[in-house]
Structure 1
Amino acid sequence: MPEKVHNNLSNRKRKRTSGFLARKRTKSGRKILARRRRKGRKRLAV
């Protein structure tokens, strides 16, 4: 069950700036995801 984001503002900001979709949006963000996949991270983004 994903954590509730809508009522916690700081959490929402965190998701917006360093969430998975935010990373996918930019070229450098995709690079970060690829790097973390290569390293074998369990969590790719926040």
Structure 2
Amino acid sequence: MAQQTLKGTSRKKKRVSGFRVRMRTRNGRAVIRSRRQKGRSRLSV
């Protein structure tokens, strides 16, 4: 039986790369800004 190659919980995903985490630091805000400029539909998880 083949196993999943990628596992992850949504809580950990949010804690690591959610919108509110991004807005906490200057670099994180830069990430959001660049994704806005690129026109991404999803800015963060």
TM range (shorter): 0.7 to 0.9
In the alignment, structure 2 segments of 5+ residues that lack a partner are 1-7
Provide the rounded CA distance (Å) in 1 between the counterparts of 2:10 and 2:43.
17
Task: Give the structure 2 partner of residue 27 of structure 1.
Answer: 26
Percent identical pairs in the alignment equals 53
Q: CA deviation at 1:43?
A: 0.5
C-alpha root-mean-square deviation of aligned residues, in Å?
1.2
Structure with greater helix percent: 1
Q: How many residues are paired up?
A: 38
- Structure of larger gyration radius: 2
Moved over 2 A (4+): none
Spell out, residue by residue over 1:1-46, the C-alpha distance to the aligned partner (whole angstroms, 9 max, x if none).
xxxxxxxx81100001000000000110000000000000000000
In the alignment, structure 1 segments of 5+ residues that lack a partner are 1-8
Q: TM-score, normalised by structure 1?
A: 0.78
Q: TM-score, normalised by structure 2?
A: 0.79
